[in-house]
Amino acid sequence: MAEPLKEIFNADAVAWLGQRLATAWADFPQDGFARAILADLPSLELKARIERIALEMQHLLPGDFTKSVKIVTKALGAPPPAGDGTDFGNFRVLACHRFVSLAGLDHPDLALEYFARTTRHFSAEFDIRPFILRDQAQVLAVMRAWADEKDWRLRRLASEGARPRLPWGLRLNALVADPKPLFPILEALRDDPVEAVRRSVANNLNDIAKDHPDLLVRYVKPWAKAEARAPLIRHALRHLVKQGHAGALELMGVDGKADLRAGRIKLDAKAIAIGGSLGLGVTITNAGDSSAYAIVDYAIHHLGARGELRPKVFKWTKLTLGPGESVTLARRHSLKPVTTRRYYPGGHKVDLRINGQRVAEAPFDLLPGAGTGEIPQKGQYSGRYRGY
């Protein structure tokens, strides 16, 4: 089994950071820093480890943020080369970013200057968010300027840091309520030459779609005139397509009047143990008089801790069927424990969705297996942690 993500912030990471801080500031108590943190580290999960390190930095670095932020910046050194957009850098730097969002909230100009430089070491998308909450207009204005910068890592931060519903990040409720202040940034980046930046724009749009579906469809519809934006638009509309939103499906080329039918979902087992996999099969037929485009998804309705079923939609395929044409699809769905989901034994079900519409379903039982895939969920980290 892969090493838990929290082990990125282990004794070696603490030693690495302590050494760099001591090199940048001769008075930094490197040994005491490590000793204090390592006493707590084994009992902490990922985010709480980041928080613990940042709090110790705040305790030991100068209380004057104008001095401490210079020390941290110096400790990180020169940013690595930008690369091609596939390497996001050193995860350990998150502890330094968290220090800045804890100690620098009353010094936004210095903090934003720090983020602009050090997001090149590792994205500052989580820790810029407290500053957006404090003064949205000011920070978004700075981020709009970043959207024109040469380094793709800074351009990506302009979008990713302002996502209304960034996973693991503070929710930006004002932008959830009214996302229009984001539009100048997204428009500046929609044709970015780096895929990682365009992907961030699509994720930002997908966040907006969850609260303003009709607005989002109206907003991106003119973008579709440029064929090169098709992948971005597909990714931006993925939530709405799964929900069967008519406007999103139309943008994806779906004819809402198409007569697509599905047979019974065939499962290769009525019961499967956690850690195994479930075989799915179904036949889809175009009963109409013209060719029809089909976006085929399926949802596994997972049993929750309170006995409720919660659907998780997965992509299956996209296809075009001629009049009267049928196709039989088959795939396997893994039920191995993963770091983002806990499995509970009991009754589950799977449903099939064609162009966002549920057309068939079948039940199955999930049996106890090698593990439940349990991970700390929101609210299970250290009670002191409030940043991400």
* Cβ proximity of 156 and 194 under 8 Å: yes
Superfamily of domain 5-251: ARM repeat domains (1.25.40.290)
- Residue 241 has, within 13 A of its CA and on its CB side, a CA count of 26
Task: Report the topology of domain 260-367.
Answer: Immunoglobulin-like (2.60.40)
What local confidence, expressed as pLDDT, does residue 356 receive?
87
Distance CA 53, CA 59 (A): 10
Distance CA 373, CA 60 (A): 38
Rounded to an integer, the average pLDDT of 125-151 is: 98
Return the ∠ at Cα 254 (arms to 252 and 257), rounded to 5°. 160
Rounded to an integer, the average pLDDT of 238-263 is: 91
Mind listing the pLDDT tens digit for each residue in 68-90?
999 999 999 999 999 888 888 89
Helices and strands: H and E segment counts in the chain: 16, 9
Mind listing the pLDDT tens digit for each residue in 276-308?
999 999 999 999 999 999 999 999 999 998 899
Farthest CA pair distance, the chain: 79
Return the ∠ at Cα 166 (arms to 162 and 172), rounded to 5°. 55
For residue 383, with 0-12 CB atoms within 10 Å meaning exposed, 13-18 middle and 19 or more buried, which class applies? exposed
Q: Where are the domains of the chain?
A: 5-251, 260-367
What local confidence, expressed as pLDDT, does residue 370 receive?
53
**Residues 205, 206, 208, 213: what is their CA dihedral angle, to the nearest 10 degrees?**
110
Query: Does residue 349 register a pLDDT over 50?
Result: yes
Residues 6+ apart with CB under 8 A from 231: 198
| Neighbour tally for 294: CB within 10 Å | 20
Separation of CA 174 from chain center? 19
Separation of CA 144 from chain center? 21
The two three-digit tokens of residue 276, written as one number:
């195994």
